[in-house]
Amino acid sequence: MAKRQDSLNLFDYYDLESPYATEFRRLLHNINGVEPEKQPKTILVTSAMLSEGKSTIVSFLAMTAARHKRRKTLLVDCDLRRPVIHRMFSLKREQGVVEVLTEGRKIKEVIKKTSEDMLDVITAGKHVNQPTEVFDSEAIHRMLEEVRFYYDLILVDCAPLLPVSDPMLLAGEMDGVLMVVKAGSTQREVVQRASLLLKNNNTKFLGVVLNNLTNVLPYYYHESYYGYEYKPRVKAKS
Protein backbone atom coordinates (compact mmCIF):
# COMPACT_ATOMS: atom_id res chain seq x y z
CA MET A 1 0.00 0.00 0.00
CA ALA A 2 1.32 3.46 -0.85
CA LYS A 3 2.32 5.64 2.08
CA ARG A 4 0.06 8.57 2.82
CA GLN A 5 1.78 11.93 2.68
CA ASP A 6 0.63 13.34 6.02
CA SER A 7 2.97 16.27 6.39
CA LEU A 8 4.27 18.87 4.02
CA ASN A 9 7.80 18.47 2.79
CA LEU A 10 8.88 21.55 0.97
CA PHE A 11 11.37 19.64 -1.18
CA ASP A 12 8.39 18.24 -3.08
CA TYR A 13 7.47 21.77 -4.06
CA TYR A 14 10.86 22.91 -5.16
CA ASP A 15 11.51 22.99 -8.86
CA LEU A 16 14.94 24.34 -9.73
CA GLU A 17 13.79 25.37 -13.20
CA SER A 18 10.68 27.28 -12.11
CA PRO A 19 10.31 31.08 -12.26
CA TYR A 20 10.19 31.34 -8.46
CA ALA A 21 13.49 29.42 -8.15
CA THR A 22 15.00 32.06 -10.42
CA GLU A 23 13.64 34.78 -8.13
CA PHE A 24 15.22 33.15 -5.08
CA ARG A 25 18.57 32.85 -6.85
CA ARG A 26 18.34 36.51 -7.77
CA LEU A 27 17.44 37.43 -4.20
CA LEU A 28 20.47 35.55 -2.85
CA HIS A 29 22.65 37.24 -5.40
CA ASN A 30 21.33 40.66 -4.39
CA ILE A 31 21.82 39.98 -0.69
CA ASN A 32 25.40 38.89 -1.21
CA GLY A 33 26.57 41.81 -3.28
CA VAL A 34 29.95 41.67 -4.93
CA GLU A 35 32.49 41.74 -2.13
CA PRO A 36 32.79 38.32 -0.48
CA GLU A 37 34.18 39.72 2.79
CA LYS A 38 31.09 41.89 3.19
CA GLN A 39 28.59 39.09 2.59
CA PRO A 40 26.14 38.68 5.47
CA LYS A 41 26.43 35.24 7.03
CA THR A 42 23.56 35.41 9.52
CA ILE A 43 20.27 36.70 8.12
CA LEU A 44 16.99 37.23 9.94
CA VAL A 45 13.80 37.04 7.90
CA THR A 46 10.93 38.94 9.44
CA SER A 47 7.87 41.01 8.52
CA ALA A 48 5.81 43.79 10.01
CA MET A 49 2.72 41.67 10.61
CA LEU A 50 1.58 38.06 10.84
CA SER A 51 1.26 35.71 7.87
CA GLU A 52 3.15 37.70 5.28
CA GLY A 53 5.12 34.67 4.10
CA LYS A 54 8.27 34.73 6.27
CA SER A 55 8.51 30.99 6.88
CA THR A 56 7.77 30.14 3.27
CA ILE A 57 10.33 32.56 1.90
CA VAL A 58 13.09 31.72 4.38
CA SER A 59 12.61 28.01 3.60
CA PHE A 60 12.80 28.44 -0.16
CA LEU A 61 15.75 30.75 0.26
CA ALA A 62 17.52 28.13 2.36
CA MET A 63 16.85 25.43 -0.23
CA THR A 64 18.11 27.68 -3.02
CA ALA A 65 21.32 28.49 -1.17
CA ALA A 66 21.91 24.81 -0.41
CA ARG A 67 20.88 23.25 -3.70
CA HIS A 68 21.73 25.83 -6.27
CA LYS A 69 24.57 27.79 -4.71
CA ARG A 70 25.99 24.72 -2.90
CA ARG A 71 26.44 26.75 0.26
CA LYS A 72 26.42 24.88 3.56
CA THR A 73 23.21 26.32 4.97
CA LEU A 74 21.52 26.23 8.36
CA LEU A 75 17.88 27.21 8.79
CA VAL A 76 16.93 28.11 12.37
CA ASP A 77 13.35 28.41 13.60
CA CYS A 78 13.31 31.25 16.12
CA ASP A 79 9.57 31.77 15.82
CA LEU A 80 8.69 30.20 19.14
CA ARG A 81 5.09 31.44 18.95
CA ARG A 82 4.06 29.99 15.58
CA PRO A 83 6.86 27.62 14.60
CA VAL A 84 6.39 25.79 11.29
CA ILE A 85 9.85 25.00 9.94
CA HIS A 86 9.73 21.47 11.42
CA ARG A 87 6.52 20.87 9.47
CA MET A 88 7.94 22.30 6.25
CA PHE A 89 10.71 19.70 6.36
CA SER A 90 8.81 16.86 8.09
CA LEU A 91 10.94 17.00 11.24
CA LYS A 92 10.19 16.76 14.95
CA ARG A 93 9.66 20.10 16.66
CA GLU A 94 11.33 19.12 19.95
CA GLN A 95 15.03 19.45 20.69
CA GLY A 96 15.81 22.76 19.09
CA VAL A 97 16.35 26.43 19.86
CA VAL A 98 14.55 26.33 23.23
CA GLU A 99 16.56 23.37 24.51
CA VAL A 100 19.84 25.02 23.47
CA LEU A 101 19.00 28.43 24.94
CA THR A 102 17.29 27.39 28.14
CA GLU A 103 18.63 23.95 29.00
CA GLY A 104 22.17 24.25 27.75
CA ARG A 105 21.81 21.42 25.23
CA LYS A 106 24.70 21.23 22.78
CA ILE A 107 24.03 22.71 19.36
CA LYS A 108 25.47 19.70 17.55
CA GLU A 109 22.90 17.50 19.33
CA VAL A 110 19.92 19.45 18.01
CA ILE A 111 21.00 20.03 14.41
CA LYS A 112 18.72 18.00 12.14
CA LYS A 113 19.64 16.80 8.67
CA THR A 114 17.31 17.22 5.72
CA SER A 115 17.19 15.31 2.45
CA GLU A 116 19.30 18.09 0.95
CA ASP A 117 22.91 17.35 1.86
CA MET A 118 23.89 21.03 2.18
CA LEU A 119 20.88 22.03 4.29
CA ASP A 120 20.48 21.46 8.04
CA VAL A 121 17.75 22.72 10.35
CA ILE A 122 17.42 23.69 14.00
CA THR A 123 13.74 23.46 14.86
CA ALA A 124 12.02 25.64 17.47
CA GLY A 125 12.03 23.05 20.23
CA LYS A 126 9.51 22.63 23.01
CA HIS A 127 6.72 25.10 23.76
CA VAL A 128 7.54 27.97 26.12
CA ASN A 129 5.14 30.44 27.70
CA GLN A 130 7.38 33.50 27.42
CA PRO A 131 9.38 33.37 24.19
CA THR A 132 10.87 36.85 24.64
CA GLU A 133 12.70 35.72 27.77
CA VAL A 134 14.33 32.92 25.81
CA PHE A 135 16.05 35.41 23.50
CA ASP A 136 16.86 38.03 26.07
CA SER A 137 20.12 36.34 26.89
CA GLU A 138 23.76 35.88 26.01
CA ALA A 139 22.89 32.36 24.90
CA ILE A 140 21.56 33.41 21.50
CA HIS A 141 24.79 35.28 20.85
CA ARG A 142 26.87 32.23 21.75
CA MET A 143 24.65 29.99 19.64
CA LEU A 144 25.11 32.16 16.54
CA GLU A 145 28.85 32.49 17.13
CA GLU A 146 29.17 28.71 17.22
CA VAL A 147 27.11 27.95 14.12
CA ARG A 148 29.10 30.52 12.16
CA PHE A 149 32.01 28.09 12.31
CA TYR A 150 30.07 25.22 10.77
CA TYR A 151 28.03 26.95 8.03
CA ASP A 152 28.39 29.35 5.10
CA LEU A 153 24.93 30.82 5.60
CA ILE A 154 22.56 30.90 8.58
CA LEU A 155 18.96 31.89 7.87
CA VAL A 156 16.65 32.59 10.79
CA ASP A 157 12.85 32.59 10.79
CA CYS A 158 11.15 34.63 13.52
CA ALA A 159 7.97 36.33 14.70
CA PRO A 160 6.68 39.56 13.12
CA LEU A 161 8.22 42.88 14.19
CA LEU A 162 5.25 44.97 15.28
CA PRO A 163 3.24 42.67 17.56
CA VAL A 164 6.16 41.30 19.63
CA SER A 165 9.71 42.20 20.61
CA ASP A 166 11.56 38.90 19.94
CA PRO A 167 12.61 39.88 16.39
CA MET A 168 14.26 43.07 17.64
CA LEU A 169 16.29 41.12 20.18
CA LEU A 170 17.40 38.76 17.43
CA ALA A 171 17.97 41.47 14.83
CA GLY A 172 20.75 43.02 16.89
CA GLU A 173 22.70 39.75 16.69
CA MET A 174 22.45 39.34 12.92
CA ASP A 175 24.59 40.47 10.00
CA GLY A 176 21.44 41.53 8.18
CA VAL A 177 17.64 41.56 8.19
CA LEU A 178 15.25 40.91 5.31
CA MET A 179 11.67 42.08 5.56
CA VAL A 180 8.88 40.18 3.82
CA VAL A 181 5.90 42.27 2.76
CA LYS A 182 2.64 40.74 1.59
CA ALA A 183 1.96 42.64 -1.60
CA GLY A 184 -1.33 44.46 -1.80
CA SER A 185 -2.17 43.74 1.79
CA THR A 186 0.23 45.29 4.30
CA GLN A 187 -0.26 49.04 4.53
CA ARG A 188 2.59 51.34 3.62
CA GLU A 189 2.58 53.01 7.09
CA VAL A 190 2.86 49.62 8.77
CA VAL A 191 5.89 48.71 6.66
CA GLN A 192 7.42 52.12 7.34
CA ARG A 193 6.95 51.71 11.09
CA ALA A 194 8.59 48.31 11.01
CA SER A 195 11.57 49.59 8.98
CA LEU A 196 11.96 52.51 11.37
CA LEU A 197 12.18 50.09 14.29
CA LEU A 198 15.01 48.28 12.54
CA LYS A 199 16.75 51.51 11.68
CA ASN A 200 16.60 52.76 15.26
CA ASN A 201 18.05 49.47 16.40
CA ASN A 202 21.11 50.00 14.16
CA THR A 203 20.26 46.87 12.26
CA LYS A 204 21.71 46.18 8.83
CA PHE A 205 18.59 46.28 6.71
CA LEU A 206 19.13 44.19 3.59
CA GLY A 207 15.85 44.99 1.89
CA VAL A 208 12.26 44.01 1.31
CA VAL A 209 10.95 40.85 -0.33
CA LEU A 210 7.56 41.42 -1.88
CA ASN A 211 5.46 38.30 -1.56
CA ASN A 212 2.76 38.20 -4.18
CA LEU A 213 0.33 36.03 -2.27
CA THR A 214 -2.78 36.93 -4.21
CA ASN A 215 -1.33 38.02 -7.54
CA VAL A 216 -2.23 41.61 -6.77
CA LEU A 217 0.63 43.09 -8.74
CA PRO A 218 0.17 43.99 -12.40
CA TYR A 219 0.46 40.97 -14.68
CA TYR A 220 3.82 42.01 -16.06
CA TYR A 221 5.39 41.65 -12.61
CA HIS A 222 3.85 38.31 -11.95
CA GLU A 223 6.30 35.42 -12.26
CA SER A 224 8.62 37.56 -14.27
CA TYR A 225 9.95 39.69 -11.52
CA TYR A 226 8.37 39.96 -8.10
CA GLY A 227 5.75 37.29 -7.99
CA TYR A 228 6.12 33.65 -7.33
CA GLU A 229 3.80 30.78 -6.76
CA TYR A 230 4.51 27.29 -5.75
CA LYS A 231 2.80 24.08 -6.75
CA PRO A 232 3.71 20.52 -5.85
CA ARG A 233 6.34 19.15 -8.22
CA VAL A 234 5.30 15.61 -7.44
CA LYS A 235 1.74 14.58 -6.72
CA ALA A 236 0.96 13.19 -3.26
CA LYS A 237 0.72 9.41 -3.44
CA SER A 238 -2.70 8.00 -2.66
> CA-CA distances (angstroms) from residue 198 to 55, 168, 169, 203, 217?
19, 7, 11, 5, 26
The Cα–Cα gap between 108 and 111 comes to 5
The item of Mg ion, ligand ATP, none sharing an interface with residue 229, based on CB under 5 to 8 Å by kind, is ligand ATP
Do 161 and 46 touch, CB atoms closer than 8 A?
A: yes
Q: Which is nearer to ligand ATP, 139 or 217 (CB)?
A: 217
Listed in sequence order, the residues at least 6 apart from 203 whose beta carbon sits closer than 8 Å to its beta carbon are 171, 172, 174, 176, 177
28 binds ligand ATP (CB under 6 A): no
26: region left, alpha or beta (phi > 0 left; psi from -120 to 50 alpha): alpha
Q: Which of 40, 131, 160, 176 binds ligand ATP (CB under 6 A)?
A: 160
210 DSSP assignment: E
SS3 category, 8 = coil
Q: Which of 42, 55, 73, 195 binds ligand ATP (CB under 6 A)?
A: 55
82 binds ligand ATP (CB under 6 A): yes
- The CB-nearest residue to Mg ion is 55
Tell me the backbone φ, ψ of residue 60, rounded to 5 degrees: -65, -35
The item of ligand ATP, Mg ion, none sharing an interface with residue 42, based on CB under 5 to 8 Å by kind, is none
Which range of residues in 51-59, 127-135, 146-154, 216-224 is near ligand ATP by CB under 6 A? 51-59
The item of ligand ATP, Mg ion, none sharing an interface with residue 213, based on CB under 5 to 8 Å by kind, is ligand ATP
Q: Which of 47, 123, 195, 203 binds ligand ATP (CB under 6 A)?
A: 47
195 binds ligand ATP (CB under 6 A): no
77 binds ligand ATP (CB under 6 A): no
The item of Mg ion, ligand ATP, none sharing an interface with residue 146, based on CB under 5 to 8 Å by kind, is none
79 binds ligand ATP (CB under 6 A): yes
52 binds ligand ATP (CB under 6 A): yes
The item of ligand ATP, Mg ion, none sharing an interface with residue 203, based on CB under 5 to 8 Å by kind, is none
Do 57 and 180 touch, CB atoms closer than 8 A?
A: yes
236 DSSP assignment: P
